[in-house]
Every structure is written in C-alpha cells, then in structure tokens.
Structure 1
Amino acid sequence: MMRKTWDEVKRGRADSPARRRGYDRAGRTIRLAMEIHELREKRGLSQRELAERLGTTQSAVARLEAGNVSPSLPTLDKVAEALGVELIVSFVDLDDRIAG
C-alpha cells in the first residue's frame, strides 16, 4: 500500500466538503467577532461596559470578540441593540457567491 505525503493529506482534507463547511463556519464566526469588536471600539465602549448593556460578564464579551463562541441570533440581536446598530441577516445563493 502506497502512503500519502503530508501535503497530499492536507490537500485532501481541505478539499472535502465537510472541511470546507467547517472553514466557512469558522470564517463567519471570526468576521462577526471582528465586527462586534470594531463597533464596540467605535462607540468608545469597554468590554465591561458592553457586558453591562448585555447583562453578561466582561469575559463573555471577550470570548465573543475572540471568535471563541458562535453567537445565537437572539444574542446577536442583543449585541446590535446594545451597540445601536441594526442586525441584518440574509441568505446568499452559493452559486452567486462562487461566481462573484
């Protein structure tokens, strides 16, 4: 039996549909985290101040901003309200995303 090189193994993993979905989910979580962080700083709020507005702890806000959690829609709605922004959720056709 012929063994695969490490590069072949990595390529195979990255090319699997399940792996790509995982990367896509992680990417969305990180983008949300970065946007929340940027909005908080733009509003001149500390993590502690945002946490008070959300009724949670500073460490929970830190985890959210670090991308260590995938926030639920109700959580994102609370964050949007606390930051004075509108939350917009939409679906994008994957064919359009790939073509564009």
Structure 2
Amino acid sequence: MSRRRSPSASISQQQKARFQEGQMGDREEWQQLRDRRMAEPGAAEAYEAARLAHELGKTVRAMRENRGWTQSDLAREAGMTQSAVARFEAGGSCPPCRSWDGWRVRWTRPWMSG
C-alpha cells in the first residue's frame, strides 16, 4: 500500500521562501489598504461603531446562553424575529429602541437571572 505524500512535502525550500515572501507582500498590501481606508473621512467612526455593535452582540449572546435561551426565545420576549436576533448577535444590526426597553425589563426580573 503506497502512502500519498502531502502537497507540502514536495515543496522545495526555495518554493517555501517564495511563498512566504508572497504572504509578507500580501500582508503589507492589506496594511496599506487598511491605512488608506482608515484615513478616509468617517472611517474611524464607522470602524468604532462596528466594533461596538460586535461587542454588544457578543454580550447579548452570552447573556442569552447563560439563561439557556434560544434565539427564538429571545426574539419572542423582545418582540423580534429570530433572524433579527441572529443579525444583532453577529454585530450586523441593532434593534430599535423599543426592543431595548423590553429587553431591559425582562432581563432584570429575578426569575430571569443566571
């Protein structure tokens, strides 16, 4: 029974060096692109808003999971759809203010804790 060699086993040191140089070049290109984008008006604010939305979504997901709720359970309690909860947890969108009030009241009830 013959053993197949992995593709990386047949790569020469020279090929590895060229590949790694290419990766470094790609990283530098991405860094330059990021620097250009971040220099555009409003980019830093948009980046920070996206970061906050992501962190908030992570926090809501952790709270939901701590309570043993599914996304559907949370959606029902908050008056949203399951897909809206999924988008929110992924940092893609934030629910309207009326939903926040409902979440605050429901999540601070003693029977809902941990």
Q: By how many angstroms is 1:46 displaced?
A: 0.9
When the two chains are superposed, the root-mean-square deviation of aligned CA atoms in Å is 2.3
CA distance in 1 between partners of 2:108 and 2:101 (Å): 10
Relative distance call for 1:9 and 1:43 in structure 2 (3 A) is closer
- What is the TM-score when the length of structure 1 is the normalising length? 0.65
When normalised by structure 2's length, the TM-score is: 0.58
Q: What residue is the counterpart of 1:79 in the other structure?
A: 103
Structure 2, unaligned runs of 5 or more:
1-27, 110-114
Runs of 4+ in structure 1 off by over 6 angstroms are none
Deviation readout 1:31-67 (Å, 9 max, x if unpaired): 1101110000111111111111112221121111111
Greater Cα offset, 53-62 or 42-51: 53-62
Number of equivalenced pairs: 81
**C-alpha separation between the residues in 1 aligned to 2:71 and 2:33?**
41
* Identity in percent: 31
* Higher alpha-carbon Rg: 2
Q: Where does residue 18 of structure 1 map in the other structure?
A: 42
- For structure 1, the residue ranges without an aligned partner over 5 or more in a row are 86-100
Q: Give the equivalent residue in structure 2 for 1:67.
A: 91
What is aligned with 1:40? 64
